[in-house]
Amino acid sequence: MRFGIIGCGRISPEHLRAIDEHDSANLIACADIDAAKANTVAGQTGCTAYTDYREMLAAHTEIDVVSVLTPSGLHPEQAIDVMEQFGRHVIVEKPMALDPADADRMIASAQRSGVKLFVVKQNRYNRPVVRLREAMEAGRFGRILMGTVRVRWMRDQAYYDLADWRGTKRLDGGVLSNQAIHHLDLLLWMLGEPVSVFARTERYLVDIEAEDTAVAIVKFASGATGVIEATTACRPDDLEGSLSILGERGSVEISGIAVNELRHWRFTDSEPGEEEQLRTTLGEAPESVYGFGHGRYIDAVIQSLTSDTPGPVDGTEGRRSIELLHAIYSSAEKGTEVLI
């Protein structure tokens, strides 16, 4: 599977590593408007560097799939262009868009073009998260009562000053759309369809346009309650990225900095030693908040493309977190509960 990459910034090393480690993947070319960044990637990988992704795609018709790793606000137009004008499959980093209407345009574009659109949600492939999902599908929790996600990370002013688009509402968004969008996805994946949300956002410690802190309470169609706590105002460093599920017959908490560490696993039907055994076999200790999921995600994408089967997280599934995100911002702005 031959790859092209658009955007050689902060997240690109995760994709480069995933492609390099996969026997059936090859990076053909990369593009970034910053020539130095593109040339750095080319020097590391041996691919060809461009400053115009359209020139890259025109020159390399052999490219099968394009990873869009640019600022979030640019994802819709670039992904649609790649699909409709060049007919390539697209992997787009989170969030796929900043507005549900743009997500809809991307989904429609993939359908018109006859290509696949994949949205990166690598935390779904964390080993403890996979086992949690299996437990839910097996009905071990019984009725789900509550799900909680927490993102307590540190992003100081120096982080936002790395580029003038960071922290802007048009191109980046705040902690919810940039950092916590993965955790919103996990909450939706576990609890199902949301029906309403009440939220509050704040900007505490950095000079940006968007929020650095947010809390929200989500009501789900099942009757379960979802709690979202997200901040980049944690100091002096990252504290946690976690997910917990409480049911009438069990409770699970996955924590660590990237939803990677099994902290608690208890069910009324638990076998002796089950929790200790799972902690040993499922625990992961990544060096960064990105975790280890990108490689597993890319593997699932390649399997989908080579076998013509449904992808890991398609545009329709990726849109769900954008719809919830939009409702959270609406609630925070209005100061009232918002129906979804």
1-22 pLDDT, tens per residue? 999 999 999 999 999 999 999 9
**181 pLDDT more than 90:** yes
Q: What pLDDT is attached to residue 291? A: 65
CATH, domain range 123-287+322-339: 3.30.360.10
Q: What pLDDT is attached to residue 282? A: 87
- Indicate if 123-287+322-339 has the same CATH topology as 2-121+294-314: no
Q: Which tokens go with 52?
A: 């115009």
pLDDT, tens digit, 9 for 90 and up, residues 210-244:
999 999 999 999 999 999 999 999 999 999 999 99
Average pLDDT over residues 36-47: 97
Taking the CA atoms of residue 64, residue 70, residue 74 and residue 79 in that order, the dihedral angle to the nearest 10 degrees is: 10
Query: Identity (one letter) of the amino acid at 317?
Result: E
d(Cα 68, Cα 5) in Å, to the nearest integer?
A: 6
Angle at 242 between CA 140 and CA 128, to 5 degrees: 50
Q: What pLDDT is attached to residue 293? A: 85
For residue 206, the SS3 value is coil
Lowest mean pLDDT among 179-188, 219-228, 301-310, 316-325: 301-310
- Grade residue 59 by pLDDT with cuts at 50, 70 and 90: very high
pLDDT, tens digit, 9 for 90 and up, residues 91-119:
999 999 999 999 999 999 999 999 999 99
Residue 268 burial (C-beta neighbours within 10 Å; 0-12, 13-18, 19+): exposed
Domain ranges (residues) in the chain:
2-121+294-314, 123-287+322-339
- What's the whole-number average pLDDT of the chain? 96
**292 pLDDT more than 80:** no
Query: Identity (one letter) of the amino acid at 173?
Result: G
The H or E element that residue 228 is part of is strand 225-231
pTM of the predicted protein model: 0.95
Q: What pLDDT is attached to residue 100? A: 97
- Grade residue 178 by pLDDT with cuts at 50, 70 and 90: very high
Average pLDDT over residues 122-148: 96
Q: What pLDDT is attached to residue 286? A: 60
pLDDT, tens digit, 9 for 90 and up, residues 242-291:
999 999 999 999 999 999 999 999 999 999 999 999 998 887 766 666 66
Q: What pLDDT is attached to residue 206? A: 98
pLDDT, tens digit, 9 for 90 and up, residues 189-213:
999 999 999 999 999 999 999 999 9
Q: What pLDDT is attached to residue 336? A: 98
- Residue 46 Ramachandran class (φ > 0 left, ψ -120 to 50 alpha, else beta): left
For residue 222, the SS3 value is coil
CATH, domain range 2-121+294-314: 3.40.50.720
The residues, ordered by sequence, that sit 6+ positions from 324 with a Cβ below 8 Å of its Cβ are: 184, 188, 194, 197, 218, 340
pLDDT, tens digit, 9 for 90 and up, residues 309-323:
988 999 999 999 999
